[in-house]
Amino acid sequence: MEWLKELYSWNYLLSVSLTGWLLAQILKTIINFFLIGHFDLERMWGSGGMPSSHSATVCALVIAAGRTAGTHSATFALAFVLAIIVMYDAMGVRRETGEQAKILNRMLTDWMEAEAERTPILADKKLKEMVGHTPFEVLGGAIVGIAVGFVIPIF
């Protein structure tokens, strides 16, 4: 227990944020295992999926900042604005990027079947499709982050 106290007292905001990220990534890997039926280690560090580790990270930061510096502080305000931007971006631009990647990958697959002999260098090229999040995945990450922010005591 003493090493936990040392870890979190070193830089509370950073430690709580990283704990939120780690917990979300572990949950994402476990949930993915149950959904697809096999263990995919890439989910441990990959973006996209349930819950959003980006949301968990920034929401844990918001709660930690509010608990340590107060909700009227500049630290809390910065963390809150950052959280809004990150979560909005995850559901907007990054999600659309993933949807476009699905379409482009399908087009490339169809095209490569016909052109494989002439352009072998492109045969294995695939765009990453799991980039953004649905609103439900962002909400799941926010819940994880908020819980982490409240559960970890201030040392």
Rounded-to-10 torsion of CA 7, 9, 13, 17: 20
Q: What is the pLDDT along the chain (155 residues), one digit of tens a residue?
A: 788 788 888 899 999 999 999 999 999 999 888 888 877 777 777 777 789 999 999 999 999 999 999 999 999 999 999 999 999 888 877 666 767 777 776 777 766 666 656 665 555 666 666 666 788 899 999 999 999 999 999 87
Every domain of the chain and the residues it spans: 2-92+132-151
The closest of 48, 43, 19, 18 to 29, measured between CA atoms, is 43
Side-chain-facing half-sphere of 26: CA atoms under 13 Å: 7
- Global confidence as pTM: 0.76
User: Could you give the CA distance from residue 37 to residue 136 in angstroms, rounded to a whole number?
Assistant: 22
Classify residue 114 as exposed, middle or buried by CB count within 10 Å of its CB (0-12, 13-18, 19+).
exposed
